[in-house]
Amino acid sequence: MKQSNIMKKNRHYYLSMVLNVIEGMLSGCNFIVLLDCIKALWNNNMTSSLLLTSTGALALVFLVRIIIYSIGYTQGQIGGADISKQIRLFLGDKIKKIPLFRFTKGQTGEYINVATNDVNNYEKILTHKAGDIAKNISLSTMLIIFIFTIYVPAGLAMLIGYLLLIPTLWFSFRSVKRYGNEKNRIMADNVSNIVEYITGIQTFRAYGIGGTKNKTVSDSMYSYSNISYVYEKNVIPIGMVFSVLSWCTLPIMILIAWHGLNTNAFDAPTLFMLSILPIFSSKLAGVIFVDLTSYKNLMISKWHINNVIQEKEEVERDIAFSPRFHNIEFDNVTFSYDKDKPVLAGVNLLVENQKLTAIVGDSGSGKSTILNLISKYYQPDSGEIKIGGISIKDIDAAKVLSQISMVDQDVFLFNDTIRNNIRYARSSATDEEIEEACRLANCEEFIEKLELGYDTPVGENGNQFSGGERQRLSIARAILKNSPILLLDEATASLDIENELAVKNAIANLLKNKKTVIMIAHTLSIIKNADQILVVGDSKIKEKGTHDELLKRKGKYYDMWEAEEKLNVNIAD
């Protein structure tokens, strides 16, 4: 579907709007019938026939309104739901095409907010607000025309009362623009923090920072509460001033009506009607003000949806990517999350084909960033990355990732069965291939103990299993995918001894086939037999070589090794 058609209104929506306008006009007809009845009563001309006729006319108008309302409401719901459905489907497809580097913590919260809250808000406009506004404006128009036909000065007074909406809404819309956008931004940040908080609730509780003690979540909650208060504080007084001015039409209309009666412009029943109509019209004007202010606020959501719709997509190029070899090369690569703080600066490295290269370094030195650049999760600021001698700059991320299997420290599992979670690696895999991959990943032991075996649901993000079990399921995916490049990002970190051993054995099975492997490890003894070890620090590759070569240099790697040896001795003691 073309981007220009995503929010295109359909015939159900337009039919609903037309029917809402008609219902509003019919609502105004009630006053014409009521005025005739009041005049008949005043003049002692009320007869059974006239009473039945008037009652029948009101009943008929009411019946027609009910039918029109039912059809209009239903059509509005169908039309609005259909538009929001196509928006959601488009956003789901769109998000798949947005470059992966856009999915930072803050941006992810914005995407979640757009796909949920903003789409819901826009749907409210389509299914409720727009129709209510159209109906109330048409009813107000009918009232003004009706009063003009009775007495022009009274019609002018009511028209001026409604025209006060224009400057009032101008002030109101200014506040919405100023504080509504800020409220939406804080809400997106709040969503991100809540998602992070719920995901890491076990860790927060373990360290005693759950609930209100978690400052980030508490602060974001406070910010949202504060901006909501400030927002209402600035909009409500505007509405109150308009309400006061609007209700001033009541005494003004009474004075005008009294003058009209004294000049014989109309009779007493008309005086009565002109005196009570401002009560109804003032309430109606207040409703229109609230609805239009709410409409303007909800339209911020449409703007946010459009921002996502207009986001730059990854360019799909018809370029084949089937490298004969899978050596990986960084040529003067520079990358930074913050322009003033480069993570990598002019990095040159070569990972040989079907060899094991290990990356070590201090936390935050850029180890994981190197893997993310290879996977095209991020794009380098400058320089070039090649796989098999082919630059991946203009290659689709999906094609690059088809050559790569990844095992991260943080494993993501879908809320599905074990079998289906493994099958995501290769949709065409047979059950036998999945079970063999799990056997090689040391998953078979704990899966066989489960009542449903491979058909056991893993729970949300695998919460039914331990960290080591989730990690082995991740390795089973990598084994099943069997890509020529394997990236291991601290796959054994944060595991107990038993699980670490099981994961190490699973990795050993994963490495049996010849692959180009890059491994980030926090324990140096794991990678001492690597073909090449890269030491990352100060935004560059500080050292490279084999374990023995690096120890002889007595540099950064030597210090890290000595520190680990001392730690092991202290633990043993």
Which is nearest to 443 in space by CA: 431, 432, 452, 434?
434
Nearest 5°: CA angle at 39, between 34 and 45? Answer: 115
List alpha helices for 313-374, DSSP H.
367-374
- Output the CA–CA distances (angstroms, integers) from residue 376 to 158, 363, 396, 407, in the order listed: 64, 21, 9, 16
- For residues 254-266, average pLDDT: 89
Percent of the chain with pLDDT over 90: 19
Q: What tens digit of pLDDT does each residue of 124-151 get?
A: 898 989 999 999 999 999 999 999 999 9
Distance of CA 332 to the CA centre of its chain: 36
391 neighbors 385 (Cβ within 8 angstroms): yes
Other C-beta atoms closer than 10 Å to the C-beta of 18 total 14
Q: Label residue 21 by pLDDT band (50, 70, 90).
A: very high
Sequence ranges of the domains in the chain: 3-309, 321-403+519-573
Q: What tens digit of pLDDT does each residue of 527-542 get?
A: 888 889 999 888 888 8
Quick check: 177 pLDDT over 70?
yes
Backbone angles phi, psi at 496, to 5 degrees: -75, 170
* Domain covering 3-309: architecture: Up-down Bundle (1.20)
* Mean confidence (pLDDT) of the chain: 84
Among positive and negative, which fits the CA dihedral 262, 264, 269, 275? negative
Quick check: 44 pLDDT over 70?
yes
Q: What tens digit of pLDDT does each residue of 495-504 get?
A: 555 556 666 6
Q: Which of 76-85, 189-198, 361-370 has the highest mean pLDDT?
A: 76-85
Q: What tens digit of pLDDT does each residue of 417-475 get?
A: 989 989 988 888 899 999 888 888 888 888 888 888 889 888 877 778 887 888 888 88
Quick check: 15 pLDDT over 90?
yes
CATH topology of domain 321-403+519-573: Rossmann fold (3.40.50)
Q: What tens digit of pLDDT does each residue of 313-325 get?
A: 776 677 778 888 8
Q: Give dist(CA 105, CA 532) in Å, integer.
A: 33
Quick check: 203 pLDDT over 60?
no
pLDDT of residue 572: 47
DSSP string, 437-477: HHHHTT-HHHHHTSTTGGG-B--GGGTTS-HHHHHHHHHHH
Percent of the chain with pLDDT over 70: 90
pLDDT of residue 571: 47
Rg (CA), the chain: 35
Backbone angles phi, psi at 295, to 5 degrees: -60, -45
567 neighbors 560 (Cβ within 8 angstroms): no
More confident residue, 508 or 111: 111
- Output the CA–CA distances (angstroms, integers) from residue 280 to 140, 143, 144, 292, in the order listed: 10, 10, 12, 18
* Tokens coding 250: 């009541």
> pTM of the prediction?
0.68
